[in-house]
Amino acid sequence: MFTHVDAVAGQLGRGLLLTLAMTALTFTGAVAGGLVVAVLRICPVAPLRAFGAGYVAVFRNIPLLVLLVLFVFGLPDLGLLYPLFATVTTAMALYWAAFVCEVVRSGVRAVPRGQAEAARALGLGFGQCLRHVILPQAVRPMVQPLGSIFIGCALSTSLAAAVGVAELTGQAEFLTLRYDQPLTSFALTTVVYVALTLTSGLVAGRVERKLAVAR
Amino acid sequence: MKPLTKARRDDIHLLFDPPGPRARRRIRIATAVSLAVFAALLAFAVRQFAAHGQLDADQWRMFCEWPIIRFLLSGLGQTLLVTAVAAALAFPLGGIVALGRLARNGPTRALARTYVELFRSVPLLLLLYVFLFGLPGVGLTFPVFWQLVIPIVLGNAAVVAEIFRAGVLSLPRGQTEAAYSLGMTHRQTMSGVVFPQALRAVSPALVSQLVRLLKDSTLGYVVSYLELLHQAKVLGEYYHAVLSTCLVAAACFIAVNSALSGAASWLEARRA
């Protein structure tokens, strides 16, 4: 394997780039989607509330791999054929949005009730109360769980290898089959994943300290 | 006082006052609009299904035939078997690792910590590939069942260890101090006082972990172990009905996992 250092580094590098891109897109999509679902779950319109609750119930309980198989092999049967990368990323963002929604909800619950009551007593409406009073205080308890979700996103992108995306895990498998030095390529890939998760954990801790609110 | 306590249970009313006449009208309009949008989406989905022949009888009739049902049920059985065996191994292993992390002996602590950090940050699929492609290369080959179960156990034991540790740390210090002052040794304190209480505290989290184990068992799809997802794939390809079998399998997974999640929140509520 050591005679192929360049080729191997190139393969793993490409895999890593794909993993990072997928993680970033999935996480961004999941946060945006999760916020929307969280707002739907607490809004006064009953059908939207029911939709939010149903969404979370379905997407929290379906295994991600089942969702990926459904999207990648099932949707083309409905004439909905999109590029593989887009399909996989969308499925993962939809999956993680349900978890982000639950984090947002528990973050909002962590804000003392009096804050919302005071805001309403001052005449703030639903949107104003959420934007100026609740969310700024709810963000801090959400940082650590969102960090865990980011790590979860990063690790779950490896499942894309099972449906044919050549990201980091897929490249590790490919290199193993190609160069017959399995333990080396797996060790390298493991190091990359550990570095990725440790960095995310550190960043989450730093952001949390930055966002500390004095009460 | 009564409306307040009712509202307290209902976090919907946290963010806005009880709606007045004008707000009620707006809510009614929004309800009508959202129902119309949902109806349109449903109509689009049905049209899309129908246009591609996914609503034809031959896509769905097979789910009424006993051999097919039995085939899928055997897959579900294998899924549950993998989950149960993995849980039976991962929970005790996680407990041992948690004990290691709480030990007074420095090297044991460091070892347990390394285990947790490593296996929490390696994707399960990569671990599975190690057992599938890596270890056979150095002469270690496991039967398919264990190629699936061992990685799941190794990965989940790290998470379970952290759950146990959080449970132990959440106990009041006084429990340990009281046990020591009664003359109990570290081992007696852990096994007789701390762990039983921690176990009760984390039981909802452990039941939720079962959901994750069940999700992980779908990786049998990768090692060609005949669990539910793999069975569904085989069936779907044989009958050219990938979408319908996938949807049926997804419904099964959601049903079982919802039951587990429900049990977890029931435990949580009973404890509170």
Please check whether residue B202 lies inside any domain of the structure.
yes
Q: How many domains does chain B have?
A: 1
The answer to the question of residue B70 being in a domain is yes
* Of residues B17, B215, B247, nearest to A63 (C-beta): B215
Query: Nearest-CA residue of chain A relative to B244?
Result: A74
In chain B, % of residues over pLDDT 70: 93
B180 pLDDT above the threshold of 80: yes
Specify if B8 maps to a domain. no
pLDDT tens sequence across B213-229: 999 999 988 888 888 88
Q: Is residue B76 part of a domain?
A: yes
> Do the Cβ atoms of B129 and A61 come within 8 Å?
no
Measured distance CA(B67)–CA(B73) in Å, rounded = 10
Contact A77 B243 (CB under 8 A): yes
Average pLDDT score, chain A: 86
Q: Domain span at residue B231?
A: 59-271
Nearest by CB to A66, from B134, B243, B250: name it: B250
Mean pLDDT of B208-214: 90
Least CB-CB distance to A193: which of B123, B135, B215? B123
Say what the pLDDT of residue A133 is: 87
Please report whether residue B41 resides in a domain. no
Rounded to the nearest 5 percent, the helix, strand and coil shares of chain A are: 85, 0, 15
Cβ atoms B222, A34 nearer than 8 A = no
pTM of full prediction above 0.90: no
Per-residue b or e along A64-86, where b marks 16 or more CB atoms closer than 10 Å to that residue's CB: bbbbbbbbbbbbebeeeeeeeee
Min Cα–Cα distance to chain B from A107, Å = 13
B8-18: b or e for each residue (b if 16 or more CB lie within 10 Å)? eeeeebbbbee
Domain-embedded: residue B256: yes
For B72-121, the pLDDT digits (tens) are: 888 899 999 999 999 999 999 999 999 898 888 889 999 999 999 899 88
- Per-residue pLDDT at A55 exceeds 90: yes
Question: Chain A: nearest CA to B53, how far in angstroms?
Answer: 8
Angle at A145 (CA atoms; ends B12, B92), nearest 5 degrees? 115
Whether residue B175 is predicted with pLDDT greater than 60 in this model: the reply is yes
**Has residue B33 been placed in a domain?**
no
H-type alpha helices, A43-160: 46-61, 64-69, 84-109, 113-121, 126-128, 135-156
CB A38 within 8 A of CB A53: no
- Are B225 and B144 in contact by the 8 Å Cβ rule? The answer is yes
Q: Do A61 and B35 touch (CB under 8 A)?
A: no
Which fold does the domain A2-210 belong to in CATH? MetI-like fold (1.10.3720)
Size of the A and B interface in Cβ pairs below 8 Å: 167
| B122 contacts in chain A (CB < 8 Å) | 155, 190, 193-194
**Closest to A174 measured CA to CA, from B129, B150, B148, B121:** B129
What tens digit of pLDDT does each residue of B62-84 get? 888 888 888 888 889 999 999 99
CATH number at residue B85: 1.10.3720.10
Judge whether B20 is closer than 8 Å to chain A, CB to CB. Answer: no
Give me the residues of B, 141-180, that contact A with CB < 8 A: none
Judge contact between A133 and A171, C-beta under 8 A. no
Q: Are A97 and A173 in contact (CB under 8 A)?
A: no
| B263, part of any domain | yes
